Every structure is written in structure tokens, then in C-alpha cells.
Structure 1
């Protein structure tokens, strides 16, 4: 019975996570200059979702959330290299929060510093390796353009997660974790 309750919580958490991710990713985003990149709180939200529900929920939330947002924006077309990269990012953030036990016990400064170091590494891997190389191989996008957009996302996502994501983790831990 306990396993069914946990599974139900994860399904509901995933659905709610995806809906909020889409709203933040598509409707509460600010475009960065002349790029196709946006400042969004979706990845800060993702850090909380993965800390609560784990890496699989994080991967599914980011993948479906990004694909749906792209489809709503681009006449039903998703930019699949970035959708896959976002799914991997959700998985990586989930593995990080699980490994560090971010919401287990006290949320210490050490846990938050390690979380932010590792989320920077995840951002670097996903947005400076996976997404740009995918764009180059699949869409024949120039490596210079792909890496420029990837670097912008590394900086934006890192800062958003470090500031807002860390704040969300602190608030959740304070009010919902014993």
C-alpha cells in the first residue's frame, strides 16, 4: 500500500511539475537580446521538483515541459536537441539532489554550495556539449552560434538556480520537511 501512495505522489508531482514548468518556461520568460534564449524560472523550479521527487521525475518534467513549450511556440515543432538536453539536465539535477540528500535532514550551507557547484557542472555538460553538438549534427547549425547560445544558457540557468532554486529549496525545507 505504501508503494502505491509513493507512486501516486510521484505521478501527481510529475503532472504538476510539468504544468508549472511549461508556464514558467513559455509564459513567464524574457528573451535575451537577439538570441532564441530566454531567462526563465523553469530550471529553478526543476531543482525543487527533483529534490522532492527524484531524477526520473526531473527528466520527464524537463523533457515534456520543454517539448510542449516548443510545440506551443513553434507551430507544433519542437527543437529536439534542446528538448533532449533539457531532459538530461533534469536527470542530472535529480541525481545531484538525491546524492547530496538536499532535503534529508538539515539543509546546510555545505549542501547548498555542493548543489550549486554540481548544478554548474550539469549546466556546462548539457548546454556546452550536448545541446550545441546536437544542433551541429542534427540541424547543421554553426558551432559558433550553438556554443554562444549554450554559454548564455549556462550563465542564466546557473544564476537562476543558484538564486531562486536555492531559495525554493530553503523555503520548502523550512515549511515542509521535519
Structure 2
């Protein structure tokens, strides 16, 4: 990113990322016993994109992908949860520099760091922000929205912890390490 401008690469990543988020949310979600809540694989992909492209891309992919998925799937957008998808993408993206996935190294320390960040981001979003906004915006009953937020948060933590970690490990293996070349004699 140069100055206040997004690179073309980041803009394309946001568009493709939002499209993949929609596809995963629509076709790779597992129904749950909690009403209007499902186990989403889309957040693992969101975490990958946020770590690779940073917080702005992560936030916009979460915002655009979730909003369009709601509009397509339900005919209206549930803004409180869309806001959380944006927050989760943004907060995970803030860890991108610390994780430095482009170095090709995604060791145990980085895996732990990634998972601490994603658990904090999702806990903040799903346990606090989503239920509070559901109550404030939609006048939903507190017991219902806190149960939904708890289930969504825990299931997203698990899917990102497993699938997101595997995606990042696989991505890191595609990057060349700076000391990976050796001189032949």
C-alpha cells in the first residue's frame, strides 16, 4: 500500500476474497442446533486473506462477503453480524506483520500467536459486539443473541484454529525462505 492508496493486488484480493467468502458461507457451512447459526468455514479463509493481505483487506472481505451473502441468501442484511465479520478480519489482519507469513516460516510460535489473536478477535466480536448490536439494533432477546454469539464464536474459533492454521501452514510452504538457497561447489 502506497500512502493512502490500496494496491491493485489488494483490491483484486478483496474482490476475490469476498466472492470466495460468499461461496464458502453459502455452500460449505454446517447447520447447527442453534437457530439462525451455522458452523462456518468462511472464517478460516477470511483469516488466511487477512494475514496475507492485511487488516484493510481482511475487514473489507468480511464486510462485503458477509453483507452480500446475507442479501443473496436471506434478502436482507443482518448488519450486527456483518460488522463482526469486518472486525474479525480487521483484527486478525493486524497480526499480519508479526506473523510475517511471506517469510515462509509458520512455526509453533507463529501458530500459537495466530490462534491467540484469532480467539481474542472472535471472542470480542461474537461474545460482545454481535449480541450487543443485536439487542440495540434489532431489539432481540438477550438470552437468544448471547447463545447465538457464544455458539458462533466457539465454532468459528475451532474452524479457524484448525482449517485456518492448515491454510496458513500450506501458504507459508509456498513462500521461499530468504536462506533457502545454498551455493553448489
Give the TM-score taking structure 2 as reference length: 0.88
Structure number with greater Rg is 2
Conserved 8 A contact 1:49-1:58: yes
Match of 1:174 in 2: 173
Match of 1:99 in 2: 98
1:75-114 alignment runs, 5 A limit: 75=75, 77-104=76-103, 106-114=105-113
Conserved 8 A contact 1:96-1:119: no
Further displaced range: 57-66 or 38-47? 38-47
- Give per-residue Cα distances to partners, 1:44-64, cap 9 Å, x unaligned: 001110111100000000000
| Inter-partner Cα distance in structure 2 for 1:100 and 1:40 | 24
| Inter-partner Cα distance in structure 2 for 1:70 and 1:79 | 7
The CA deviation at 1:135 is 0.2
The CA deviation at 1:142 is 1.0
User: Given the alignment of the two structures, is residue 59 of structure 1 paired with residue 64 of structure 2, yes or no?
Assistant: no
Match of 1:147 in 2: 146
The CA deviation at 1:101 is 2.6
Root-mean-square deviation over aligned CA pairs: 1.6
> Any idea what SS the aligned residue of 1:107 has?
coil
Q: Which runs of 4+ in 1 moved over 6 A?
A: none
> Any idea what SS the aligned residue of 2:95 has?
helix
User: Given the alignment of the two structures, is residue 122 of structure 1 paired with residue 155 of structure 2, yes or no?
Assistant: no
| Inter-partner Cα distance in structure 2 for 1:177 and 1:36 | 43
| Inter-partner Cα distance in structure 2 for 1:34 and 1:159 | 16
User: Given the alignment of the two structures, is residue 74 of structure 1 paired with residue 74 of structure 2, yes or no?
Assistant: yes
Match of 1:33 in 2: 33
**Using a 3 Å threshold, how does the CA distance of structure 1 residues 88 and 36 change in structure 2: closer, same or farther?**
same
* Gaps in structure 1 of 5+ consecutive residues: none
Match of 1:164 in 2: 163
Match of 1:135 in 2: 134
The CA deviation at 1:105 is 5.1
| Inter-partner Cα distance in structure 2 for 1:29 and 1:81 | 19
Match of 2:14 in 1: 14
Match of 2:180 in 1: none
Q: Number of matched residues?
A: 174
- Give per-residue Cα distances to partners, 1:75-116, cap 9 Å, x unaligned: 2x1001111111111101111233333443521101111110
* Gaps in structure 2 of 5+ consecutive residues: 178-185
Conserved 8 A contact 2:21-2:65: yes
